[in-house]
């Protein structure tokens, strides 16, 4: 699965893997793909430093990258406490009532809830960059919007390629104007924040819009046949997120959640604002149903919703309250039916890709004769 871009970046396969887990990122890079570690959950720079040091020691000297969440809109001088104060009491009560209905226990005294908004704030993303640039990262990806010009310049000074996710051709062109090197065209099927256009439609639109910039196709890709389809649509590679969640290297901290993912079909996700306030595809649960129910109070805008539900989500995860337990994941969850190593996923992608290419060659050969 080689392309011009994979050769340029020095990887065997044009398969980029987004993951929140350092062990998965290292395994993707070791297996010949390009591991990209998600930084949003690192609110303390020292934790990110520890994990990037670990990645340096375990990625086998292969290239890897970091994904930060730098929102396009800059919020100056706003603290988490300011945002807390903006949350209506009715919404807090709705959270309390919903948790009580399912008998969800509280956290222990002083136990921090894992999910904070701070990783979404530009000042935090900037401290993450300071740490990241002290490590040999080869790619910096930005999730929400174009990275600021000074960040692009800083990355380029260090020979780091810059990527950004786009859900429409218009977004992709903005990224191109911001001077980035690679556009990730992420379709509606994808896990996490998504736009409204499917990968099949989005990829060729973005490829045309930003030509000659290389494009990675993302969203709904989990087989080699789909990798071949993405390259056929003009992509220079693929960017996969969901598929790694059920690998043996992933650390979801919840056997119940892993079981739910393995059992889920492709129709068991929903694009909901329940987690962050922006539409994000995730496992459909009784928690997302409660938020999406017109009889409820409705979700708050980002970053209020994320802060409102942070503690609740931690409690649901800690106590594995199955009806409410979920995670961002895309429609490809329907193919994630057994726990496999990252290497096994890569091997499967390679085999499927070769089969697809053979098949197309056969078809083309036959049509050539007719």
Distance between CA atoms of residues 94 and 77, nearest Å = 29
Question: Torsions phi, psi of 17, nearest 5?
Answer: -120, 115
The pattern of x and - marking residues 165 through 204 that bind ligand FMN according to CB under 6 A reads x--------------------x--xxxx------------
- SS3 sequence, 309-328? HHHHHHHHHHCCCHHHCCCE
Strand partners, 162: 140
Q: Between residues 37 and 91, which has the closer beta carbon with respect to ligand FMN?
A: 37
Which helix (H) or strand (E) covers residue 37, if one does? strand 34-38
Choice from 42, 64, 67, 269 touching ligand FMN (CB under 6 A): 67
Smallest distance, Å, CB 50 to ligand FMN? 19
CA 119 distance to own-chain centroid: 14
Yes or no: say if 285 and 325 are a contact pair by the CB < 8 Å rule. Answer: yes
Binding to ligand FMN, residues 22-61 (CB under 6 A): 38, 40
SS3 146: coil
CB of 340 to ligand FMN, least distance (A): 15
For position 249 contacting ligand FMN by CB under 6 A, the verdict is no
For ligand FMN, give the closer residue by CB, 91 or 313: 313
> Which of 303, 326, 330, 352 forms a contact with ligand FMN (CB under 6 A)?
330
Q: Which residue has the tokens 């987690």?
A: 275
Binding of ligand FMN at residue 345 (CB under 6 A)?
no
Specify the stretch interacting with ligand FMN by CB under 6 A; choose among 21-29, 246-254, 289-297, 324-332.
324-332
- Angle, alpha carbons 44-49-55 (nearest 5°): 130
* Residue numbers at the binding site for ligand FMN (CB under 6 A): 18, 38, 40, 67, 69, 141, 143, 165, 186, 189-192, 218-221, 239-243, 327-330, 332
């Amino acid at each position: 699965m080689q392309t011009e871009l994979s050769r340029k970046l020095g990887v065997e396969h044009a398969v980029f893997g987004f993951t929140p887990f350092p062990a998965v990122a290292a395994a993707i890079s070791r297996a010949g793909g390009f591991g990209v570690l998600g930084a949003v959950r690192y609110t303390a720079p020292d934790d990110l430093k520890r994990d990037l040091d670990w990645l340096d020691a375990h990625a086998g000297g292969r290239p890897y990258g970091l994904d930060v969440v730098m929102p396009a809109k800059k919020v100056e001088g706003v603290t988490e406490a300011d945002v807390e104060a903006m949350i209506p009491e009715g919404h807090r009560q709705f959270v309390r009532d919903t948790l009580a209905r399912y008998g969800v226990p509280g956290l222990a005294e002083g136990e921090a809830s894992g999910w904070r908004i701070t990783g979404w704030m530009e000042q935090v993303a900037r401290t993450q960059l300071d740490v990241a640039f002290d490590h040999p990262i080869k790619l910096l990806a930005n999730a929400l919007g174009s990275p600021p010009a000074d960040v692009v310049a800083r990355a380029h000074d260090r020979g780091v390629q810059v990527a950004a996710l786009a859900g429409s051709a218009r977004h992709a062109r903005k990224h191109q104007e911001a001077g980035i090197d690679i556009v990730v065209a992420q379709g509606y099927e994808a896990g996490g924040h998504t736009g409204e256009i499917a990968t099949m439609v989005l990829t060729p639109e973005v490829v045309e819009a930003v030509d000659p910039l290389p494009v990675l196709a993302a969203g709904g890709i989990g087989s080699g046949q789909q990798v071949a389809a993405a390259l056929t649509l003009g992509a220079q590679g693929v960017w996969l997120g969901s598929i790694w969640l059920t690998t043996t290297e992933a650390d979801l901290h919840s056997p119940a959640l892993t079981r739910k993912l393995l059992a889920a079909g492709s129709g068991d996700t929903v694009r909901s604002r329940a987690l962050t306030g922006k539409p994000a595809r995730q496992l459909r649960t009784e928690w997302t149903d409660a938020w999406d129910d017109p009889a409820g109070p409705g979700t708050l805008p980002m970053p209020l919703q994320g802060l409102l539900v942070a503690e609740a989500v931690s409690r649901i995860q800690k106590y594995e309250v199955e009806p409410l337990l979920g995670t961002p994941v895309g429609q490809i969850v329907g193919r994630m039916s057994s726990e496999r190593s990252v290497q096994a996923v890569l091997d499967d992608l390679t085999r499927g890709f070769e089969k697809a290419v053979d098949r197309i060659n056969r078809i083309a050969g036959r049509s050539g004769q007719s």
